[in-house]
Amino acid sequence: MRQAAVAWGTIKGDRESQQDAAKWVEWKKGKYLLVLADGIGGAAGGDVASETAVAGFVESFMKNPTVAVRSRLLAALKDANDAVCDEKRQAPALASMGTTLIGVAIAEAKLTWVSVGDSPLWLIRNGAIDRLNENHSIGGLLDMRAEAGEITAEEAANSRQRGVLLEAVQGEDIKYVDAPLEGYDLRPGDTVIAASDGVETCSGEELTDIVAAGRPSATDIVGAILDAVAEHEWPGQDNATLIVYRPR
């Protein structure tokens, strides 16, 4: 693939604090690591948890250059979880903190990821958007029930329990981890988006329209999506953060 463009951005929304954190690095020429975390809403120290998890994940991944990518991602998740645990031990007031986490490695036209929680990892290809990673929340379970015909899509979308997490990085044992054995093949023209759930204020159709509008860079796409989130003016809008990867 040609050289890729990566960018990230965030807005606080209608919240008192920013509990999202994100970082990307080019760990080798043409190879990228994208990491995003969304601190658990309402939990003390959500901002500390997300920042600690992202920093711990990146540090761990970068120190294991000879290990297979999937193994590096899983090791980085463990180290990020351990870092959150250490923070809790040092500051008992943060005992309830936690965070979702997505770690994405892109190398040689292959996408490999590990994720915990409900933050989405999307692929936009040929005008269609697909969520690649699992949704470890009640919302994810409701969507599966809707697909099976057990409830309606409207019932799933409007449930007050949608945002309840089934798993998070909290310095404890993690039962639900999405880490596919095989990487996902990327194609020229693909756009990859890792996001916090605040970006879901925009519909999938809106996101695909923004990408299809011919914006020349990942930076332009990030700005356009965050502008679209803000324009909705949702009361209580959550922090919205995303990282975009697309070939130049």
Per-residue pLDDT of 218-229, as tens digits, reads: 999 999 999 999
For residue 148, is it within any domain? Answer: no
At 1, the pLDDT band (50, 70, 90 cuts) reads very low
Beta-bridge partners for 245: 6, 192
Cα–Cα distance, 117 to 125 (Å, whole number): 24
**Dihedral over Cα of 187, 216, 18, 47: its sign:** positive
Q: Name the amino acid, one letter, at 192.
A: V
36 in any annotated domain:
yes
Q: pLDDT (tens digit, 9 = 90+) per residue, 8-45?
A: 999 999 999 999 999 999 999 999 999 999 999 666 79
Q: What is the CATH number of the domain that holds 9?
A: 3.60.40.10
Neighbours of 130 (CB within 10 A): 10
User: In this predicted structure, what is the pLDDT of residue 143?
Assistant: 75
Q: Is residue 145 part of a domain?
A: no
Residue 159 lies in a domain: no
Q: Is residue 153 part of a domain?
A: no
143, part of any domain? no
DSSP 137: B
In a domain, 210, yes or no: yes
What residue numbers bound the domain in which 118 lies? 4-134+169-247
23-53 burial code (b ≥16 CB/10 A, e <16): bbeebeeeebbbbbbbbbeebebbbbbbbbb
**Which has the higher per-residue pLDDT, 216 or 238?**
238
- Give me the number of domains the chain comprises: 1
Query: Model confidence at 59, in pLDDT bands (50, 70, 90)?
Result: very high
Distances (CA, A) of 89 to 81, 96, 103, 170: 13, 12, 25, 12
